Each structure stands twice: as structure tokens, then as C-alpha cells.
């Protein structure tokens, strides 16, 4: 088998000299790291030769991240990730190991994680995991984690022996690190697996329950898909219906609304019980939403049976029943939007 013809393994190449103006300089340095496209034209005469080195590229990246607009910084991150796929792993690893500036570490980490994903070598992210776990600076720990965003990080952690895990990282004393954990898991569930991965969902629940911050726990339970979780995780979610924090109880009710069909009888029973015993109207609303989501049109009789339990919320039940009578709406996102249109 022939290997694909990337030819950018060398440390030094030629490119345009550094031009006054940050953008032009960064573009020049970053471009020299990208593969030549199929549509490339004939040879271009360069005005003069200069060394394209990783240290120059890193210097320009650092400057751009310090001084560029948010949009430009996002561009730099994406551009570096593309370049990193064909950069020598040793150079990337050395840069990650030495970096002390959080914004730069995050981008370098994203590049390293992209390369690991491209060449399917999860061991490449080990130094990133170690920094996320043990760097003395919480901003650097968070940055190392953010570098793993939108990758298969849960799987990569497992393939690295499970030495560093998200539930462990969620116990970090720094709120910044814990927020990075939540952000990574929410993004990974939605953007990498589109909500269809049991391992990521269950890791998210485990991390949520390890969090000392109820609001962060609630955020994870609310926003991560539960469509593939198993019975043990459903039991954990049911346990959170008795949490002290109302937002956590509401989040658990929301999460239970999204569990697989096989788990729905237990989830529905718990949500009905919650609706009957709960005092907080917002939590009760979440319970109604969970019941509606579990059964769609089939939940109408359950919802009707709850009329009068909390008279102030009967209009909420009516709104759900109105939407659920329209049998042509089978998509939960559309159903929810329609219900919100009728009654927020």
C-alpha cells in the first residue's frame, strides 16, 4: 500500500519573509505548514528565502492569540489544528510540554488532539491529560482540557489506561477546570456523537455527580443526551430527583425524559411521583416535560391524570396535551418548540 503523499515532515521549509502586519505574517507561517492542494498552480517565484521554523510559528501564534479579535483567535485555532495534522509529533509534544500561556496551550493542545485523532494514536494526548490533572496553575489545567474539546476524548482517556478520567477532573478545586470538563462533555456528546454514544453520556453523568457544584451538575444533566444510557445510570438520575437543589431536581427530570424506551416505565413512574410530591413549580414543569418526551402522544393519559394536583400548572398540562394531539409532530425538537410557542 502506498502511503498518502504528505511531504511536510521536515522541520524547516521556505516561505515568504516576515511581513509587517500580524495577519500577513501568521498567514505566511501557517500556510507553509499546510499540504499543497490539488489545485495548486505552477511554481511561484518568492522574493527571497527565509526559514520557516516552529519557533517562529509559535511566536506569531502567541502574538495573534494575545492581540487578535475573538474571531481571529478562533481562526488561528482552526488553522493550527489543520496544520498540526501533518506536523511532526515530537515538535507538537515539545511545544505542549513547555507552554505556560493558557490560551496558547489550549490551541497547541487542540492541534495535538487533532493529530492524535487523524493518525489514531491516542497516546499522543497523554501529556495533555497529565497537565490537565497535575499542572500547578488552574488556568493551564483548564487550557489543557479545552484542547481536547470536540474530539473523542472519553475514548482517548480510556485507551490511555483510564489514568485520567472526567469524574476525577470534575473534583478539581478550580471552578475553571470543572467548567472545562462540563463543556468538553456537552460538546463531545452533541458534536462528535450527536447524542448517540452511551459511553460519553454515562461518563457525563458520572462527572456530573462528582461535581461539588450543583449548578454544573444540573447543566450536564440537562444538556447531555441520555438516549443510550443503561439502567444503572437511569437509577442515578432518579436519585437526583431527591436532590436539595431545585435546579438539580429539574435537570434530573429533564434528563429522565430523554432515556431509552426500555428504561421509560421506571423513569415515567419517578417523574409522576415527583410531580405529585414536588413544591417548586419549575421542577414540576420539568417533570411534565420529561413525561411528555418519554411518551409523546402516548403520554396524554398520564398528563391528564395529573390535572388538579397543582392547579396553577394545569395550563401547562393543557399546552402539552394540545401539542401532543397533533400526531404529525414526531420530532422532539419541533414538539418542544411548538409547546414553547403556545406557552413558555
Partner 1 sequence: MNVKNMMYAAAALVVGVANVAVAHTAVGPICDTVARVGSTTYYSCSGSGHTALDMSNQSCSEWNHRGMIQGSVYYAYYGGCASNCSGGTTCNAGAGNYYKVTGAPGWDFAQLHLNSNASSGSKTCDRCALGLVGSTGNSTGAHVHAHNRKDTVRQSAWYVNAGTTCGSSAYCSNVVGYPTF
* C-beta of residue 73 within 8 angstroms of C-beta of residue 35: no
136 binds partner 1 (CB under 8 A): no
193 binds partner 1 (CB under 8 A): yes
107 binds partner 1 (CB under 8 A): no
How many Å apart are CA 161 and CA 158, to the nearest integer? 5
Which of 44-52, 93-101, 151-159, 237-245 is the region at the interface with partner 1 (rule: CB under 8 A)? 151-159
How many Å apart are CA 226 and CA 72, to the nearest integer? 35
Contact with partner 1 (CB under 8 A) among 16, 52, 192, 229: 192
160 binds partner 1 (CB under 8 A): no
DSSP state of 136: S
How many Å apart are CA 67 and CA 48, to the nearest integer? 28
217 binds partner 1 (CB under 8 A): no
Picking from 233, 278, 276, 273, the residue whose alpha carbon sits closest to that of residue 256 is 233
Contact with partner 1 (CB under 8 A) among 23, 171, 191, 326: 191
> Residue 116 has which C-alpha cell?
492524535
- Binders of partner 1: how many residues, by CB under 8 A? 50
Give the Cα-Cα-Cα angle 270, 238, 286 (nearest 5 degrees): 65
Site string for partner 1, 279-318 (x = CB under 8 A): ---x--xx--x---x-------------------------
Which of 64-72, 137-145, 249-257, 268-276 is the region at the interface with partner 1 (rule: CB under 8 A)? 249-257
Window 322 to 341, contacts with partner 1 (CB under 8 A): 331-334, 336-337, 340
As measured in angstroms, the least distance from the Cβ of 277 to partner 1 is 19
* C-beta of residue 223 within 8 angstroms of C-beta of residue 191: no
Contact with partner 1 (CB under 8 A) among 14, 66, 118, 231: 118
Residue number, 172 or 219, with CB nearest to partner 1? 219
How many Å apart are CA 5 and CA 38, to the nearest integer? 12
How many Å apart are CA 187 and CA 269, to the nearest integer? 30
Contact with partner 1 (CB under 8 A) among 9, 21, 39, 162: 39
119 binds partner 1 (CB under 8 A): yes
* C-beta of residue 332 within 8 angstroms of C-beta of residue 293: yes
Picking from 31, 20, 90, 85, the residue whose alpha carbon sits closest to that of residue 57 is 31
How many Å apart are CA 73 and CA 64, to the nearest integer? 7
Contact residues for partner 1, defined by CB under 8 A: 1-2, 4-6, 34-35, 37-39, 85, 114, 117-120, 150-152, 155, 189-197, 222-223, 225, 250-251, 254, 257-258, 282, 285-286, 289, 293, 331-334, 336-337, 340, 344
Amino acid at each position: 500500500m502506498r502511503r498518502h503523499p504528505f511531504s511536510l515532515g521536515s522541520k524547516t521549509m521556505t516561505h515568504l519573509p516576515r511581513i509587517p502586519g500580524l495577519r500577513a505574517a501568521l498567514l505566511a507561517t501557517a500556510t507553509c505548514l499546510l499540504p499543497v492542494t490539488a489545485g495548486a498552480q505552477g511554481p511561484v517565484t518568492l522574493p527571497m528565502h527565509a526559514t520557516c521554523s516552529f519557533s517562529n510559528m509559535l511566536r506569531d501564534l502567541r502574538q495573534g492569540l494575545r492581540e487578535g479579535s475573538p474571531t481571529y483567535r478562533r481562526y488561528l485555532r482552526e488553522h493550527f489544528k489543520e496544520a498540526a495534522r501533518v506536523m511532526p509529533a515530537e515538535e507538537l509534544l515539545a511545544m505542549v510540554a513547555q507552554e505556560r500561556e493558557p490560551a496558547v496551550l489550549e490551541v497547541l493542545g487542540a492541534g495535538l488532539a487533532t493529530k492524535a485523532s487523524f493518525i489514531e494514536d491516542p497516546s499522543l494526548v497523554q501529556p495533555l491529560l497529565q497537565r490537565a490533572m497535575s499542572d500547578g496553575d488552574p488556568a493551564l489545567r483548564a487550557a489543557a482540557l479545552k484542547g481536547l474539546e470536540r474530539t473523542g476524548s472519553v475514548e482517548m482517556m480510556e485507551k490511555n489506561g483510564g489514568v485520567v478520567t472526567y469524574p476525577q477532573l470534575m473534583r478539581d478545586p478550580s471552578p475553571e477546570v470543572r467548567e472545562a470538563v462540563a463543556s468538553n462533555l456537552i460538546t463531545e456528546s452533541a458534536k462528535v456523537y450527536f447524542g448517540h454514544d452511551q459511553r460519553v453520556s454515562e461518563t457525563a453523568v458520572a462527572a456530573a455527580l462528582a461535581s461539588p457544584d450543583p449548578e454544573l451538575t444540573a447543566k450536564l444533566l440537562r444538556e447531555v443526551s441520555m438516549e443510550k444510557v443503561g439502567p444503572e445510570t437511569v437509577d442515578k438520575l432518579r436519585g437526583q430527583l431527591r436532590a436539595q437543589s431545585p435546579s438539580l431536581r429539574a435537570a434530573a427530570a429533564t434528563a429522565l425524559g430523554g432515556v431509552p424506551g426500555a428504561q421509560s416505565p421506571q423513569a415515567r413512574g419517578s417523574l409522576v411521583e415527583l410531580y405529585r410530591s414536588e413544591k417548586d413549580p419549575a421542577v414540576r414543569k420539568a417533570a411534565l416535560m420529561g413525561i411528555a418526551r418519554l411518551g409523546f402522544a402516548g403520554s396524554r393519559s398520564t398528563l391528564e391524570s395529573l390535572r388538579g394536583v397543582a392547579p396553577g400548572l394545569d395550563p401547562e398540562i393543557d399546552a402539552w396535551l394540545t401539542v401532543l394531539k397533533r400526531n404529525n409532530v414526531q420530532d422532539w425538537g419541533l414538539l418542544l418548540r411548538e409547546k414553547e410557542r403556545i406557552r413558555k
